[in-house]
Chain A
Amino acid sequence: MEKLKLAVYWASSCGGCDIALVELGEHLLELAQLADIVFWPCATDGKYSDVEAMEDGSIDLTLFNGAIRTDHDRHLAELLRAKSRLLVAFGSCATEGCIPSLSNIRGAAYALQRASIDNLTSDNPDGIVPCAEYVVPEGKLSLPALESRVHTLQQIVPVDYSIPGCPPHHDQVWRAISQIIAGELPARGATIGADPRTVCDQCPRTRTGRIHVSRFLRVHEGEPAPDTCLLEQGYLCAGPATRAGCGALCIGANMPCRGCYGPPEGVADQGAALLGAVTAGLEAKSDGEIRAALESIADPVGTFYRFSLAASILHTLGSDGEGPNQSCVASQEDRP
């Protein structure tokens, strides 16, 4: 049997998805038997020029992690799409935008300003930001330009399958890879390496179906009982609106789920689904009581859309204009 040609790439990511692959342990050695790694920047010596030189469709499978943040990320998404037979969005950044897509609330220009200019320790009286092009006496230096907002992979190029999670649990990763190698795949566009149910279905805690509080608690405000549902005790938990597959690990450590596996099968918008589940579960009777309970949620957008803002219906509210430093050209000569 001819070995699978496998590529792994990271765009705007934290590296945790690559660690999730390393966590395959002995399965990683098995994978090395079944697949030739033709490109994996963090593990092998592949270069962009090597990928550019490949024929279109010559990579059997690309696991793409990370969101699309810069014009360079976009270029690599397009390049790997063209070269790959199967392109898989791997992990929360590629599938949902993950936590870094909370940056879309205020946009890239604000993020750049807060990091470079308006920052507690920056020494930057001239208000410099990193520029796409910088002229030094010896020549020109270039940086990838930021895009105006964070995108998921699917928003840039067609994606064949998605593996959710921040990061995906290694058992699920192996299950998904085995499925791909065996050719036992569902229809294109499906989510693999997960369970179609919700985290609540995997959670060992007991539930009554009613949220017994008049206001929600933040995690530092109390010590939850270990055996009963966190949401029903008043701790916002994304379990009801989150796809199963992780094994409810965070809940096992006595902390609520924050939703890193994205929405369950058939749910388009995780935040709306969670808001719906929370509201429906409240014991509150009147509109006033319901409003008071919801108003006690400290950070609605950052709670309901912690991992999925870029993929949410709210995404359409953002602007797709030019990025903040795309046409920035600076020169050392102009600096005092």
Chain B
Amino acid sequence: MKRITIDPITRLEGHGKITIFLDDRGDVANAYFQVPEFRGFEAFCEGRPVEEMPRITQRICGVCPMAHHMAAAKAADAVFGVEPPPAALRIRELAYSAFVSGDHATHFYVLAGPDFIVGPEADPAERSILGVIGQVGMTMGRRVIQHLQETHEVVALLGGRFVHPVMALPGGVSKAVTAEMQTRLQEIGEDLVEFGLFSLDLWRQTVLGNPAYREMIESEAYLHRTHSMGLVDADNRLNFYDGNVRVVDVEGYEMARYAPQEYRDYVAERVEPWSYVKLPYLKQIGWRGLEDGMESGVYRATPLGRLNAAEGMATPRAQEAYEEYLEAMGGKPVHATLATHWARLVELLYAGERMLELARHPELTDPHVRVIPDGIVGEGVGTVEAPRGTLTHHYITDERGIITRANLIVGTTNNHAAICMSIKKAAQSLIGGGRPVTQGLLNKVEMAFRAYDPCFACATHALPGEMPLEIRIYDHEGQLQTQLQRHTESTGPHARYEERLS
């Protein structure tokens, strides 16, 4: 049995590894994507006061701390049985919308954009954010940087700091919005909407206008027929901050719609000895292994999954963009993994529009932003849509609000099984059948999971550069046959491929 090891994959949080096994004919027998990172938050949340969870669990991720901050605050609201005042809910959702806008933009422009804007077949040295700026020009490049800075400014303005903000606590937020702050938030909100429209235009011109890209997006190599999950409002429109979880099946029919606190009736997590991350699946179907299709419990909670699970967008321009997307992709449900990028841009526009709506709300500056709890329920679930999937925090406490049990199902974890499958399928389509292993393999294997924007790679969202890969192919006696490497030039993000035969 031949083995191809892609190790280290340095754009994962910590360390990552892909191992592909080839059978005697050189076809892919199996492929494993391993997440060798473990920090054990669930255990050490025990003994901590629940009101501190928004500031503790955000240390899970320094790129999406706002998602954990909000899910934890919502779960803690429920533990104390308090409903924050309207202004506090608006402030929370406003900050969250700005965060989603910034997070989606960093993924598209820095991480995924190079594949489309510069090109999947381009010289790898150019396939980076610098290459993107080279293509779109410095003016547009500055616009991207300005967008990121403005979304960071919103989070810092409301939450004290950009990384690990401190605003949300059970019963509300720590700080009200002043009239002066509101003026600035409105200015930024207008920019975020413009940026969403600009990004969709760029997608239309660069990707949709290119038949080769359309073919790749629709190709079998990047297709998985899975169920879809996402948070929706009362009218089944997508919502990031609040709502019910809706699941539609492979054919697009609703198979579940539940309040977040019922999540244990719907989702279970398979434990595998080969990875520190678990593999969630839909309980009503069960675990059938790393398989797609109607009979498998594997689902996706990505932008693609969310747009399948929702029946529309709650803001007008995003709704137009959503309709255009569905029409072009042949209607719901969409299963083409690479269309996730397009879905993400529809969400980017929605997040901007929603942020602006909230910034314009006449009662945003209401100073009443706290409710002081006067009792305790002792259990609470908080769910938000993190950029990378449905994020659930569940706490059980004693009568003082000290945590006795915690359970966290994190955005990317939802998609772990699908990511494993996508890597295997891309590998199967590229390797085998007597085809030579080329350096193009590297980028196409990367593209298979890059669409998911996995949070293992969180810090790379904001940084230039290609994933460093080393692929070694051994013969069945364990002798190194081919080694493919991408090297770093000493100047930084410029990389090149090199093929060595030994």
Contact = CB atoms under 8 A, between A and B. Distances in A.
A154 B29 CA distance: 44
Interface string A217-241: 0111111000000000000000000
B43 A138 contact: no
A252 B47 contact: no
A103 B40 contact: yes
A120 B278 CA distance: 13
Given A121-B280, A123-B268, 10 more contacts: A5-B490, A42-B10, A44-B465, A45-B468, A103-B39, A111-B38, A120-B407, A130-B276, A143-B274, A254-B174
A50 interface: yes
B163 interface: yes
Interface in A71-110: 72, 98-100, 102-103, 105-106, 108, 110
A328 B274 CA distance: 11
Contacts of A50: 487-488
Contact of A103 (B43, B169, B457): B43
A167 B42 CA distance: 22
A70 interface: yes
Interface in B24-62: 29-30, 32, 34, 36-44, 46-49, 51-52, 55-56, 59-62
B154 interface: no
Contacts, number: 293
A280 interface: no
Given A36-B490, A219-B169, A249-B160, A111 B40 contact: yes
Contacts of A119: 42, 269, 407
A326 to B, nearest CB: 13
A16 B62 contact: yes
A33 B308 CA distance: 46
A10 B470 CA distance: 19
Contacts of A278: none
Interface centre among A41, A220, A328 (most CB of B within 10 A): A220
Contact of A38 (B164, B457, B490, B495): B490
Contacts of B233: none
Interface of A: 5, 10-20, 22-23, 25, 32, 36-50, 66, 69-70, 72, 98-100, 102-103, 105-106, 108, 110-117, 119-124, 128-131, 134, 136-139, 141, 143-144, 146, 166-167, 218-223, 249-250, 252-255, 258, 298-299, 301-302, 306, 328, 330
B493 A43 contact: yes
A327 to B, nearest CB: 14
Given A139-B21, A250-B160, A298-B402, A42 B39 contact: no
B151 to A, nearest CB: 13
A17 B276 CA distance: 23
A43 B42 contact: no
Contact of B52 (A166, A223, A250, A302): A302
Interface centre among A11, A39, A144 (most CB of B within 10 A): A144
B400 interface: yes
A32 to B, nearest CB: 6
A218 B49 contact: yes
Interface centre among A69, A106, A110, A298 (most CB of B within 10 A): A298
